[in-house]
């Protein structure tokens, strides 16, 4: 299919916005420099495929169903731990902790064509936080006092294990991801560094194939896309609830990974 650069350029700018300044520890000024995305991100010092690192993170062994209440109406998300166990486990764990309750969608892009709604910044639950600061926050683990970052995790179609810490382009992978950015896909926002996703997520308002292989999709809206379509910037997640599959969430045992 022919790529219409002129038509897609506004959406690409928003993709840059999804990438830059979307998580704790990012440099907001980098968002003013689109050229920053042209070079591969600096590799992390330790690969998250190290079992000790993965053992420190929640994991979803199977499926779960999450319900978001927005503007008094439910949005049902099927969370796919089979294809994205760490990313899905992180999301379900944060839902169960109540991290998303009261947070607001700080980025909504529909013009010049539908793109995404983005939320999940814990700062957005505090009305005193300036709007200009939203999109820079992430989850801090109260037990450790440290930000929780999760690795970029994308399963190539037909593969047994996800690829970690690299986009498909960086890893030289030509296959499609098992989970793609079709309308209603739920995926993690991150900074320019692959392993910087925390709590922020977005829902696609249309098919967005050029994000495939660069961002981690972990779920799909199965009911309530009409509610998603009506979300405006500043709308709150009144509640987020795991309604099914919580037994599939595996949390790390305290101190297990550090022994």
- Do 153 and 162 touch, CB atoms closer than 8 A? yes
pLDDT of residue 254: 57
pLDDT of residue 45: 35
Strand 185-188 relative to strand 217-223, pairing: antiparallel
Q: Which of 64-68, 122-126, 127-131, 232-236 has the lowest mean pLDDT?
A: 127-131
pLDDT class for 48, splitting at 50, 70, 90? low
- Do 11 and 3 touch, CB atoms closer than 8 A? no
pLDDT class for 131, splitting at 50, 70, 90? confident
pLDDT of residue 240: 98
φ, ψ of residue 66 in degrees (nearest 5): -120, 140
pLDDT of residue 132: 84
Question: Could you identify the residue written with the tokens 């503007």?
Answer: 71
Q: What is the CATH architecture assignment of 8-35+59-250?
A: Beta Barrel (2.40)
Over residues 231-242, mean pLDDT: 97
- Do 186 and 55 touch, CB atoms closer than 8 A? no
Length of the chain, please?
259
Query: How many C-alpha atoms does 250 have within 13 Å on its Cβ side?
Result: 14
Q: How many CB atoms lie within 10 A of CB 53?
A: 18
- 36-45, 213-222, 245-254, range with greatest mean pLDDT: 213-222
| Dist. CA 155–CA 176, nearest whole Å | 9
- Do 217 and 186 touch, CB atoms closer than 8 A? yes
166: nearest Cα among 37, 250, 46, 40: 40
Strand 249-250 relative to strand 59-60, pairing: antiparallel
Tokens of 15: 């993709």
Over residues 234-256, mean pLDDT: 90
pLDDT of residue 10: 47
161: nearest Cα among 52, 64, 220, 85: 85
pLDDT above 90: residue 54: no
pLDDT of residue 178: 98
Q: How many CB atoms lie within 10 A of CB 94?
A: 21
pLDDT above 60: residue 248: yes
pLDDT tens sequence across 137-180: 999 999 889 999 999 999 999 999 999 999 999 999 999 999 99
* Dihedral Cα 174, 37, 214, 235, nearest 10 deg: -160
| Dist. CA 4–CA 112, nearest whole Å | 14
Q: How many CB atoms lie within 10 A of CB 191?
A: 26
pLDDT tens sequence across 60-104: 999 999 999 999 999 999 999 999 999 999 999 999 999 999 999
């Amino acid at each position: 299919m022919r790529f219409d650069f002129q038509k897609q350029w506004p959406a690409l700018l928003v993709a840059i916005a999804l990438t830059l300044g979307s998580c704790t520890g990012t440099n907001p000024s980098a968002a003013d420099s689109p050229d920053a995305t042209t070079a591969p991100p600096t590799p992390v010092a330790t690969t998250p495929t190290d079992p000790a690192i993965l053992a420190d993170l929640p994991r979803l062994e199977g499926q779960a169903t999450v319900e978001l209440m927005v503007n008094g109406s439910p949005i049902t998300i099927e969370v796919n731990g089979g294809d994205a166990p760490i990313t899905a486990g992180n999301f379900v764990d944060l839902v169960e902790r109540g991290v998303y309750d009261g947070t607001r969608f700080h980025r909504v892009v529909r013009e010049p064509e539908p793109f995404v709604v983005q939320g999940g910044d814990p700062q957005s639950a505090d009305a005193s936080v300036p709007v200009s600061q939203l999109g820079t926050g992430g989850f801090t683990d109260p037990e450790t006092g440290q930000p929780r970052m999760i690795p970029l995790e994308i399963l190539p179609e037909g593969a047994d294990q996800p690829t970690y810490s690299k986009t498909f382009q960086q890893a030289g992978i030509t296959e499609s991801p098992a989970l793609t950015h079709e309308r209603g896909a739920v995926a993690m926002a991150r900074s320019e560094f692959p392993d910087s996703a925390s709590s922020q997520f977005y829902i696609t308002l249309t098919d967005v194939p050029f994000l495939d292989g660069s961002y981690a999709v972990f779920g799909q809206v199965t009911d309530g896309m009409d509610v998603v379509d009506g979300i405006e910037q500043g709308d709150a997640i009144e509640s987020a609830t795991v309604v099914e599959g919580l037994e599939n969430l595996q949390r790390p045992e305290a101190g297990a990974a550090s022994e």
